[in-house]
Amino acid sequence: MSEKIYDVIIIGGGPAGLSAAIYARRSELETLVVEKGVYGGLLFQTAGIENYPGGIKGESGADFSMRLVAQAESFGFEKVMGEVSDVSLEGSVKTVTISGKTYSGKTVIIATGNLPVLLNIPGEAEYTGKGVSYCATCDGPLFRGRDVYVIGGGNAAVEESLHLAHFARKVTIMHRRDRLRANKYIQEKALNTQNISFLFDTTLEEIKGSEVLGSIVVKNVKSGETYEITAPEADGIMGVFVFAGMAPQTALFEGKLHMENGYILTDEEMHTSVPGVFAAGDVRKKSLRQAVTAVSDGAVAAVEAEKYLE
């Protein structure tokens, strides 16, 4: 066990966690940030950032993430890479265990985010950020005037298709069943949107291309027929938006915090059900999950952690 007791331990180095680190260090709190993968989180994979206030036009999610990391690091927080295997959140000193080593903190900010449910098909990983996306709000404008395919048939898939229809030349909703699962109201909206069409009884089997996504291989589940759909030559790229669901990264906190459908419940000040434990960003139950709301959550969580310590 580490002998040092931090003022705040932040689990997650995405926009929410890094924002919390900035605000915590500006308040001169001893801060540790834990990240298991890439700083920036899902934002790191985003092709471009167009809706962040004050963002740089044409900047990629990776570049934005690196600027955010550099800004946070300039305040001097400590960091450790690794996956958290256990947490103890009760009492005045909380503990977080990473790779067999236990770190202690007076407060904890959970910013573990959520991850899209993957299709796990050939080409999906290779073309993520190069035509494959999991966020229409983030990447929809990048496909202005192009053809996009939305994978899924639930509320999220249809709602995001309606958003994409503002930018894309044509939106095709691809669903493995013979009808949508979305509620009737948004189904009707999609049916009455001129540039939205439907491809039922169909699954996406493979994603192909050179430097960017250029074609997809699909399969009719009833006939077994497979065929390839290619992006128009003049476009050079097509879009695939996957909405097979999102999975909040909260398994570690089951039974330790109040949750709903896997998302951590907080008040507007990011307080969880345990004193001294806060949640920020996509991991908490909220209506909008975007970088701009994540950094706001992180700032609030850090300020509230400081108040708790006082």
Residues 192 and 160: their CA atoms lie apart, in Å, by: 15
Q: Which of 139, 147, 282, 297 is catalytic?
A: 139
CA contacts within 13 A on the Cβ side of 141: 10
Cβ(282)–Cβ(270) under 8 Å?
Answer: no
Q: What is the DSSP letter of 271?
A: B
Other Cβ atoms within 10 Å of 204 Cβ, number = 21
Known catalytic membership, residue 86:
no
Known catalytic membership, residue 135:
yes
Q: Which of 7, 138, 147, 297 is catalytic?
A: 138
CA contacts within 13 A on the Cβ side of 260: 7
The H or E element spanning position 189 is: helix 184-191
CA contacts within 13 A on the Cβ side of 105: 32
Known catalytic membership, residue 138:
yes
Q: Which of 7, 86, 135, 235 is catalytic?
A: 135
Residues 131 and 298: their CA atoms lie apart, in Å, by: 30
Dihedral pair phi/psi, residue 224, rounded to 5°: 80, 0
3-state secondary structure of 117: coil
The H or E element spanning position 280 is: none
Cβ(265)–Cβ(284) under 8 Å?
Answer: yes
* Bridge partner residues of 219 (DSSP): 203, 226
CA neighbor of 167 nearest in space, from 189, 146, 193: 146
Residues involved in catalysis? 135, 138-139
